[in-house]
A and B are shown apart, each in its own frame.
Chain A
Amino acid sequence: MSNYPTPDKATLLEIYRKAATIKLNDERIIKEMKSGRLVTPYYSGRGQEIIPSALAMSLNDDDYLCTIYRGTHDMVAKGFPLDTMWAELAGRVTGSCKGKGGPMHLTHPESGCMVTTGIVGSSMPIAVGLGWAAKLDGKGQVAVATFGDGASNIGAFHESMNMAALFDLPVIFLCQNNLYAEHTSMQKSTKIDRYSKRADAYGMVGVTVNGNDPDEMYGAAKVAIDRARAGEGPTMIEAMTFRFNGHLIGDMCDYMKHGELAEAKQEDPVPALRQRLIDEGIASEDELAGMESGIKEVIEAAVAAAYDADYPDAIELKRDVFAQEIA
C-alpha cells in the first residue's frame, strides 16, 4: 500500500468529521428505535464509518452513488442532508422521498445518492448504467456501487463486473466486507480468502484494504476514482471492516465466533482516528469536542423537525407510480 497517496491533515480531519457524523447519527437512530418512537427497518453501518468517509473525499456531488439497505453511512458521507434523511426515517412528507421510501430506499440526487436498494447487490447493475451515462456525458463523473461480502456471491455481481470492465466504465465496485452475510460467515460463503481476487477474472484491478484505516482507504479510493475519471476503467475495492450491530438492530450475533465482536469493538475505527488526530496535533480535544457538539446540534434539529412534520396524504398512493398522477 506504500504507493498510495496519503491524506493530508485537513483531509484526515474531514474524514473524521464525516465518520463522527455517521457514528453519532447512527447512535441517535438506534436510541430513537429503542425508545419505541421510531419503528423502522434500519440496518446499522456502525463500525464501517471510515470506508465511505475516506471514499467521499475524492468524490464530487455529481458523482453517482448506488448503495444498499445498510447504506446510511455511505449517504451521510456523500452529503445526504440529515434533515431530509430524518424526516424520511420518520416517514414524513418532508422526507427526501416524501415518506414513501424509508431507510432502504433513501434517495437524494442533488448529493449524488441516486439509488438505495433493499435487494442484496442490486446496486451493482444500476451503477454500471450510471457509469455508462457518465462515460457518454464525458464530464469525468464516476459511479460507485457499494455492497457487502454477501452480495459478492450473487449472479449480478458477475454480470456487472464483467460488463463494466468490458466497456471500461468509470465504476468503483466497493465491497464493504464485514465478514458476515446476514448470519453466515465469509468462510461458509466462499472458498476464497479475498473477494478482490475475483476482479482479476474480469480483467479489472482489484484490491483488498483495511477499510477501517483512513490512510489505506483514502489511498485506494483515490487511485480507483482517478483511474475511472481518466477513462481507464473500473476498480473493485474490498474494504475489510466489521459491523458492530449485527445484521439488524436487536441481533444477538450468536452466529459469530466467541469474542469476535468484542475484539472488533476494541478497535473501533472512529475513536481510533479521533485519538490519532490529537496525537498528531491535527486537532485538540477541545476542537474535536466542539465539532462533535456541533454535529449533535444538527442531528437534534433534524430529529425535532422530522417529528414536527406531517405524514403524507393518502393521495400520494396515486402519485409517482407513473410520471402522471393516477386518476
Chain B
Amino acid sequence: MTETTKITMLEAINRALHDAMEADPKVLALGEEVADPEEGGVMGVTKGLSTKFGAERVVSTPISEQAIIGSAIGAAIGGYRPVAEIMLMNFVAVAMDMLTNHAAKLRFMSGGQTAVPMVVRTMTGSGFSTGGQHSDYLEAWFAHTPGMKVVAPSNPTDAYGLLRAAIEDDDPVLFIENIQLYFMPADFTAEKIPLGKARIAREGSDLTIITHSLMVNHAMAVADQMAKDGTEAEVIDLRTISPWDRETVLASVKKTGRALIVHEAVKEFGIGAEIASVINEELFGQLKAPVKRVGGAFCAVPYCKPLESAFAPSADSIGKAALELVA
C-alpha cells in the first residue's frame, strides 16, 4: 500500500507512464503529439515524459497510424516495451492490419520465437457530440482476435495498476481510456493490478451486472437505486475484457441466478454476446431468468445531443433492464 488521495484517471495514467519509464529503460512512448513540445498529447496524458526521459524514448510522430503501430511492433520484437498512443479509438481502424495481422499473431505464427510486448493506448466514448468517427467502443474486434489482450479501466486506481501490468505484460495489450472518466477524481492507490482479474465493485445477492469502463458508474448508480427498494445488485467491473475473468463472473451469477451485461459498444455481436453465451453454457439450469444485455444502439454514434444520449446505455436504460430481470 502507498498513499491514498483523490486524483483523476488522466493523472493516474500519466503517473503510470512516468513510473513505468522510470522503472524500465526499455519502456518507450510514441504517437501523435505525445512529446512535450507538442503539449504531451491532445489531452495531456503523456505530459512531462519527453522532458524527463528524452526525445529518443518519447517520440511525437507524424499522423501515420500504420507506421506508429508498425514501429511499436518492430521495437517490441527488438527488445523494447513501447507504449503507442492512437489518439482516438476509431483511428485504430487505419492500423488494423498492423494490429490484428501482425501484433496479435506474430508470437503464434513464429512458434513463440518472437513476442510483441507493446501497449496501445487509445481514448474513446460518446458524450461530447463527436459523432460517428470519434466515439466508438470497438473492444469486441480485438477481443475476437487471438493474441490480443484488451483492458478498459473505470477509475484512477485501476487505470494506474492495469497500465503498469499491461506494460510489463509480454503480449500486446489494447488499453481503452474513456474520455469522460479522464476528468473524474476518485480515491487513488498506486499498485499494479494483474490483467485478467475482474473487480467486484459492489456485492449483492439478487442479480449480477457485468460491465466495464464508464458503464461501471451507471451500473453503480442503478445498484444504489435498487438497494433502496431492497434489491441487491452485484456489480462486476471486468477491467480486462480479454482474457476475461470467467471465474469471478460465473461465481457471481451462480450466486444471484440473474445476469445483466452492459457495454457502451453496439449491443449486436458485442462482448456481451460472448459472456451471455458462456453463462448459458455453464449455468443454464441455475438461471432464474434469461441473461439480458444493454448496449449501444445499432447505428453510428449520432451527433445531436438527444440522439447521442439515446444511443448510449444510461442509468435509466440499465435500471429498466435490471428491474425486468428481477421482476
Contact = CB atoms under 8 A, between A and B. Distances in A.
Interface residues of A, number: 47
Contacts of B75: 129-130, 132-133, 136
- A114, A119, A322 pick with most chain B CB within 10 angstroms: A322
Interface in B152-180: 169-171
A323 B110 contact: no
Given A125-B66, A166-B62, A321 B77 contact: no
Nearest to B26: A136
Contacts of A125: 66-67, 69-71, 73-74, 98
Contacts of A95: 111
Interface string A18-49: 00000000000000000000000000000000
Given A163-B64, A163-B71, A130 B78 contact: yes
Contacts of A150: none
B285 interface: no
B80 interface: yes
A197 interface: no
Interface in A100-129: 100-101, 105, 107-109, 114-115, 117-119, 122, 124-129
Nearest to B65: A159
- Sorting the interface of chain B by its residue count into under 10, 10 to 19, 20 to 34 or 35 or more gives 35 or more
A143 B74 contact: yes
A128 B71 contact: yes
Given A133-B75, A320-B111, A322-B171, A162 B70 contact: no
- A105, A126, A136 pick with most chain B CB within 10 angstroms: A126
A321 B107 contact: yes
A132 B74 CA distance: 8
Given A117-B101, A125-B74, A136-B56, A321 B64 contact: no
- A108, A115, A135, A159 pick with most chain B CB within 10 angstroms: A159
B74 A133 contact: yes
B110 A129 contact: no
B70 A128 contact: yes
B108 interface: yes
B116 to A, nearest CB: 10
- A95, A114, A133, A137 pick with most chain B CB within 10 angstroms: A133
Contacts of A105: 109-110
Nearest to B77: A114
Interface in A79-108: 95-101, 105, 107-108
Contacts of B111: 95-101, 107, 320
A156 B109 contact: no
Contact of B101 (A96, A119, A130, A321): A119
Given A97-B110, A155-B66, A159-B66, A322 B149 contact: yes
Nearest to B79: A133
A111 B243 CA distance: 33
Nearest to B55: A167
Interface in B54-111: 56-57, 59, 61-62, 64-67, 69-80, 82, 97-98, 101-102, 106-111
Contact of A122 (B101, B112, B169): B101
A134 interface: yes
A241 interface: no
Given A107-B114, A117-B102, A101 B70 contact: no
B113 interface: yes
A136 B80 CA distance: 9
B73 A126 contact: yes
Contacts of A114: 77-78, 114
- B62, B113, B170 pick with most chain A CB within 10 angstroms: B113
Given A119-B97, A122-B101, A129 B108 contact: no
A273 to B, nearest CB: 33
14 contacts: A97-B111, A101-B111, A107-B111, A114-B114, A115-B102, A117-B101, A122-B98, A129-B82, A156-B98, A159-B65, A159-B67, A163-B64, A163-B67, A166-B62
Given A97-B111, A101-B111, A119-B102, 11 more contacts: A107-B109, A125-B71, A126-B70, A129-B71, A129-B74, A129-B75, A129-B77, A133-B74, A155-B66, A160-B70, A322-B147
Q: Which 7 A-B pairs have the closest CB atoms?
A: A129-B74, A125-B70, A133-B78, A98-B111, A97-B111, A159-B67, A107-B110
Interface of A: 64, 66, 95-101, 105, 107-109, 114-115, 117-119, 122, 124-137, 143, 155-156, 159-160, 162-163, 166-167, 319-323
